[in-house]
Homo-oligomer: A and B are copies of this chain.
Amino acid sequence: MTAEAVLDKVTTARQRFAARLSAVAADVELCLARELPQPTGHQSDIMEAMRYAALGGGKRLRPFLTVEAARLLGGDEASALHVGCALECLHVYSLVHDDLPCMDDDDLRRGRPTVHRVYDEAMAVLAGDGLLTHAFQMLSDEAAHSDPAVRIRLVAELARASGTHGMIGGQVVDITVLESERDTALITSLQAMKTGALIRFATQAGCLVAGGQAQDFAALNSYSTALGLAFQIQDDVLDVEGDAAVVGKAVGKDEHLGKATFVSLLGLAGAKDKARRLGDTAKAALAPYGEKAQTLIGAVDFVLEREH
Contacts and interface: CB of A to CB of B under 8 A. Distances in A.
Interface of A: 37, 41-43, 45-47, 50, 93, 97, 100, 102-103, 120-123, 125-126, 128-130, 132-134, 136-137, 139-141, 148-149, 151-153, 155-156, 158-160, 162-165, 168-173, 175-177, 186, 190, 193
Nearest to A176: B45
A130 B176 contact: no
A303 to B, nearest CB: 26
B102 A164 contact: no
Contacts of A162: 133
Given A133-B164, A137-B156, A137-B160, 17 more contacts: A37-B163, A37-B165, A42-B177, A43-B165, A43-B168, A43-B173, A43-B176, A45-B172, A46-B172, A50-B164, A100-B125, A122-B175, A125-B125, A133-B162, A140-B153, A141-B156, A148-B152
A126 to B, nearest CB: 6
Contacts of A164: 37, 43, 46-47, 50, 130, 133-134
Given A120-B102, A173-B43, A176-B42, A140 B168 contact: no
Contact of A136 (B102, B103, B155, B172): B155
Contact of A140 (B122, B123, B156, B170): B156
Nearest to A47: B164
A125 B140 contact: no
Contacts of A139: 155
Contact of A168 (B97, B120, B133, B152): B133
A141 to B, nearest CB: 7
